Amino acid sequence: MNQELVEICLRVRDIEATLDFYTNLFDFEVASRREFPENRFDLIYLNSPGSSVQIELTYNYDAEPYNVGDGFSHLGVTVSDLEKMHEVCKASAYETGDLRGLTGGTPTYFFVTDPDGYRIEVKRAK
């Protein structure tokens, strides 16, 4: 049996701020947007360049704030220029961590936090 990971769902509170984060900071593209006002939710699917996995943003109208669980850690993306992306994220309004290396050596990653508190690990592409 063949299997393929096709989507990851994130529940979000401010859809416009979240779309700004993923489309302007990371160049994700909106693949589709489905609105269900009668059921009080919207679904927005994002494509990441070079990946077949989509992020499904679920926006439930009037939802209470979500708690990012302690079992979930982060999403990961790779970039061709880690230092440049770090500077872009630091200049943004989003919480951005320091460049780090796994053993304190050459920096290979950093974390940035989206508007809903989900952490994104930004890694140097190999």
Report the sign of the C-alpha dihedral through residues 85, 119, 95, 92, in that order.
positive
Let me know if residue 113 belongs to a domain.
yes
CATH of the domain at 91: 3.10.180.10
Give the pLDDT score at 102.
Answer: 87
Q: Is residue 51 part of a domain?
A: yes
Q: Does some domain include residue 52?
A: yes
Cβ atoms 74, 120 nearer than 8 A: yes
Quick check: is 69 in a domain? no
Residue 68 forms part of a structural domain: no
Q: Rounded to 5 degrees, what are φ and ψ at 86?
A: -60, -45
Count of structural domains, the chain: 1
| Predicted TM-score (pTM) of this structure | 0.88
What integer pLDDT is reported at residue 33 of this predicted model?
A: 96
Distances (CA, A) of 104 to 7, 35, 65, 100, 108: 33, 46, 36, 7, 10
- Which residue range is the domain that position 35 belongs to? 7-62+74-124
Per-residue pLDDT of the chain (126 residues; tens, 9 = 90+): 767 888 999 999 999 999 999 999 999 999 999 999 999 999 999 998 888 899 999 999 998 888 888 778 899 999 999 999 999 999 999 999 999 998 878 999 999 999 999 999 999 998
Answer yes or no: is 13 within a domain.
Answer: yes
Residue 21 forms part of a structural domain: yes
Active site residue 35: no
Does residue 67 fall inside a structural domain?
no
Give 87's Cβ-side CA count (13 Å radius). Answer: 3
